A and B are shown apart, each in its own frame.
Chain A
Amino acid sequence: ILNVEQSPQSLHVQEGDSTNFTCSFPSSNFYALHWYRWETAKSPEALFVMTLNGDEKKKGRISATLNTKEGYSYLYIKGSQPEDSATYLCARGEDKIIFGKGTRLHILP
């Protein structure tokens, strides 16, 4: 993997359901993995920064895991709510961070 890849590109989830999506990245020369939530017309909001293999972080209903050896991270949202609708960006790096294209999450009422 040469770039940061996110899947799926878009996702529709029923309110109340849990969901997860993936970020894949080059595992060599790894420094940090970032997750951002980007709502329309707002600034991207930093969710997590993870640096160590096996890291797991949690903020409310959202959590993330990191596997630096195989080059992937998962973002989990438990009990989706309408306010979770946003684009979730994953990025790899320390100084220069390389972004994926994002996963666009739509929560259906």
Chain B
Amino acid sequence: GAVVSQHPSRVICKSGTSVKIECRSLDFQATTMFWYRQFPKKSLMLMATSNEGSKATYEQGVEKDKFLINHASLTLSTLTVTSAHPEDSSFYICSARKRHSYEQYFGPGTRLTVT
């Protein structure tokens, strides 16, 4: 158990367009989901934390109007990169956590390239 899927795995888009990335917990209810970004040769950096049914909490320096996060159900969270620019090109990865658990279960990530 504890499988998390992420879709798409890879996306290329043009500057100015928006891209939506989905994160799903397939066999458990995720009360909390996390979105991370990884720059080359850097650690996974937490962007935001979302709890089902409430607004996401963004980390310092992450623009909430740029990175829209929705956690509408206990199995789905989405990250929308709005008006994407080349500097948004990165690896985005989500994780999901069960209630009363420390463990986070990760999706396989999405490689976004903005041209």
Q: Given A41-B108, A42-B108, A43-B109 in contact, is the A94-B102 Cβ separation under 8 Å?
A: yes
Interface residues of B (CB under 8 A from A): 4, 32, 41-46, 49, 59, 93, 102-109
- Chain B residue at smallest Cβ distance from A94: B102
Interface residues of A (CB under 8 A from B): 4, 31-32, 34, 36, 41-46, 49, 51, 89, 94-102
Contact partner of B106 (CB less than 8 A), chosen from A4, A41, A44, A102, is: A44
Q: How many A-B residue pairs have CB under 8 A?
A: 43
Name the prevailing secondary structure of the A interface residues: loop
Find chain A residues with CB under 8 A from B32 CB.
95
Residues B43 and A101 in contact, CB atoms below 8 Å apart: yes
Find chain A residues with CB under 8 A from B102 CB.
31-32, 34, 49, 51, 94
